[in-house]
Amino acid sequence: MRYFICLLVGLLAGAIVSGMFSGAMQRRNAWPRALMNVMQHELGAARSAARSDTCAAPAQGVSAEHLRLVAGDLDAALLAPGTKDRVLSQYIGDFRKSVATWDANAACARQAQALTAIANACEACHRDYR
Ligand code: HEC
C-alpha cells in the first residue's frame, strides 16, 4: 500500500511538472506562432481574392500592409536575443523582398503570381526551420 501511494504521488508530481514545462514552452513560442497564424490568414485571404477576381477590394491593401508589418517582427520573434543566424536572416530578407514586390493594386493575375512567390518564401524557410 505504501509503495502504491508513493507511486501515485510520483505520477502526480510528474504530471504537474510536465504540465508546467509544456505550458512554459507554449508561452515561449506564442509570439512567433501568433505571427505565423496572422500571416497565414492574410496570405490565404489575399490568394483566394486574387483567384476569384475580387482583388480590387481594399482588403488586399490591408492584407499587404499586415504582412509587411509582421515581416518586420520576424527577426525578433524567431531569433533568441543576442544570437545571429545568417541563413535564417537570409530567409527573412527573401521573404520581405517577396512581400515588397506584391502590388495590391495590380491586376488579379499579377497579384496571384506575387502571392505564390510569397507562399514559396514561407515554404523555403519552413523547410529548414519549422
Ligand atoms: C524566416 C522563416 C519563416 C518564414 C519566412 C515563415 N515562417 Fe512560418 N514558421 C517558421 C517557424 C520557425 C515556425 C515554427 C514556430 C514555432 O512553433 O515556434 C513556423 C510556423 C508556422 C506555422 C504554424 C504556427 C503554429 O501555430 O504552430 C504556420 C501556420 C506558418 N508558420 C505559416 C507561415 C506563413 C503563411 C508564412 C508566409 C506568409 C510563413 N509562415 C513564413 C518560420 C518561418
Residues 123, 96 contacting (CB under 8 angstroms): no
Pocket test of ligand 1: the residue of 47, 79, 98, 130 to mutate, having most ligand atoms within 8 Å of its CB, is: 130
Task: Place 13 in a pLDDT band, splitting at 50, 70 and 90.
Answer: confident
Please state, rounded to an integer, the average pLDDT across all residues of the chain: 90
User: pTM of the prediction?
Assistant: 0.85
pLDDT digits 0-9 by tens, 34-69: 999 999 999 999 999 999 989 888 999 999 999 999
Q: What is the pLDDT of residue 39?
A: 97
Pocket test of ligand 1: the residue of 26, 27, 33, 36 to mutate, having most ligand atoms within 8 Å of its CB, is: 36
pLDDT of residue 16 exceeding 70: no
27 pocket-lining for ligand 1 (C-beta < 6 Å): no
Q: Range with the lowest mean pLDDT among 17-21, 68-72, 80-84?
A: 17-21
Q: For residues 65-94, give the mean pLDDT.
A: 95
Q: Cα(97)–Cα(101) distance, rounded to whole angstroms?
A: 6
CA of 32 to the centre of ligand 1 (A): 7
Domain locations along the chain: 30-129
Q: Cα(100)–Cα(9) distance, rounded to whole angstroms?
A: 57
Q: Cα(110)–Cα(122) distance, rounded to whole angstroms?
A: 19
pLDDT > 90 in the chain, percent: 72
For residue 91, the ligand 1 atom closest to its alpha carbon is: 1
